[in-house]
A and B are shown apart, each in its own frame.
Chain A
Amino acid sequence: KAGVTQTPRYLIKTRGQQVTLSCSPISGHRSVSWYQQTPGQGLQFLFEYFSETQRNKGNFPGRFSGRQFSNSRSEMNVSTLELGDSALYLCASSKDGESYEQYFGPGTRLTVT
């Protein structure tokens, strides 16, 4: 069974640009959650999508958005990038968001210069 995949793995962007990250969950999983990891703030929840609907949202500005497609693949978008957006972005998938099976992808490391 293939694991959670994230693309791209590494990304370098300039302040003011926008970026789109992709996450493909494990087959059969309908919930995808996104997290931002930084040395200062640790791991913080961004949002969760379930059956193409945003079910939960963390405390991030509106520049951070996401969506989920009918095949459960999810994308997150960050507009008007700031230096502080440099982080490891992780996604996790689970069948329904309520089970203990929450598996993470390898992450996308975003550097904003």
Chain B
Amino acid sequence: AQKITQTQPGMFVQEKEAVTLDCTYDTSDQSYGLFWYKQPSSGEMIFLIYQGSYDEQNATEGRYSLNFQKARKSANLVISASQLGDSAMYFCAMRGSLYYNQGGKLIFGQGTELSVKP
């Protein structure tokens, strides 16, 4: 069974500093995809970044980068130069098994609430 674990319920970071949000996963599939989403208090899930299991380089999207360590089954999100608007819940997710035609299903972790201090 696939599983996502986020061990940090809450994190604080000073504005303009970098922060790392942890995510570990478990799957027996060779091909899989990992996502990070941001959920502000309004509730909408905002796609941040994606990493495929066969991607050799870590994904980056602007201030977001994904530190992918396949052997350790970790996919940590790094936010550089934090801004006040980054305060939100952050979810790590894994796509369901394509082998079992479950690509449209996302398995989510419990989330990390990030607070950026001025």
Contact = CB atoms under 8 A, between A and B. Distances in A.
B10 interface: no
B117 interface: no
A106 to B, nearest CB: 5
Q: Which residue among B52, B102, B106 has the maximum number of chain A CB atoms within 10 Å of its CB?
A: B106
Q: Could you tell me the dominant secondary structure of chain A's interface residues?
A: strand
Contacts of B43: 88, 90, 106-107, 109
Interface in A75-110: 88, 90, 92, 94, 96-107, 109
Contacts of A92: 45, 106
B110 A33 contact: no
Interface string B87-118: 00001010110100111111111110000000
B33 to A, nearest CB: 6
Interface residues of A, number: 28
Given A42-B111, A43-B91, A56-B96, A103 B47 contact: yes
A33 B95 CA distance: 12
Nearest to A9: B43
Interface in B1-57: 33, 35, 37, 42-47, 50, 52
B50 A100 contact: yes
A107 B103 contact: no
A45 B44 contact: no
A104 B37 contact: yes
B42 A56 contact: no
A103 B45 CA distance: 8
A15 interface: no
10 nearest CB pairs, A to B: A97-B104, A104-B45, A98-B103, A48-B104, A100-B50, A43-B108, A97-B103, A106-B44, A107-B43, A31-B104
20 contacts: A31-B104, A33-B105, A35-B106, A55-B104, A56-B101, A56-B105, A88-B43, A92-B45, A92-B106, A94-B104, A97-B104, A102-B106, A103-B47, A104-B37, A104-B47, A105-B44, A106-B44, A107-B43, A107-B44, A109-B43
